[in-house]
Amino acid sequence: MILVNLNVIVDVLQVRHPFHSTSLGTLNRIMAGKRLAALASHSVTTLYFLMRKHSGREVANRSVDWAARRFEVIPVGQKELDRALALNWPGFEDAVVAAAAESAGCTHIVTRNVRDFRGSVVPAVLPDELVINEVHESFTRRYGSGGGASQAGGGSTR
């Protein structure tokens, strides 16, 4: 399961350039059923607040409904808040997201602010990195890790 940070969702819903197309492509790939996507529960109220401020109450309601139907909403309770406080990050909201992802057993956090998640147990990736990682994993499953394609140029792929 992949936890999608709110900035990626808001990029799509508010058509925020230059991030919109990359975030949209990543969400489309996730929504196509390739992976189960999650959203921390506290992000739902923040989504409502941001969308209402940007586009009004009706759009905010539709945005919350859209998110609730497409994402597994991960609960944030005392355990996650305690963990977030223990992380002692400058950005408490990011710490809560990291704690929720850890508690839910997520494999990645998709976010535009990877730097703010440096201390996270769950690795944070940029939206376009998630797609690249999926392509690499698919290739490796099909052809193996020592396939000739990556060695043909004589160099490392990393």
In a domain, residue 152? The reply is: no
Mean pLDDT of 89-97: 97
Mean pLDDT of 105-131: 92
Q: For residue 158, is pLDDT > 50?
A: no
Q: For residue 148, is pLDDT > 50?
A: no
CATH number of domain containing 133: 3.40.50.1010
Which DSSP symbol is given to 105? Answer: T
Regarding predicted confidence, which is higher, 99 or 133? 99
Number of domains in the chain: 1
Residue 81 has what pLDDT? 98
In a domain, residue 150? The reply is: no
Length of the chain counted residue by residue: 158
% the chain with pLDDT above 90: 69
In a domain, residue 44? The reply is: yes
β-partners of residue 125 are: 110
Mean pLDDT of the chain: 86
Q: For residue 117, is pLDDT > 90?
A: yes
In a domain, residue 35? The reply is: yes
Position 28 confidence tier, pLDDT thresholds 50, 70, 90? confident
- Among 12, 39, 46, residue whose Cα is nearest residue 26: 12
Q: For residue 125, is pLDDT > 90?
A: yes
% the chain with pLDDT above 70: 80
**Residue 30, domain extent:** 2-145
In a domain, residue 156? The reply is: no
Distance CA 17, CA 105 (A): 31
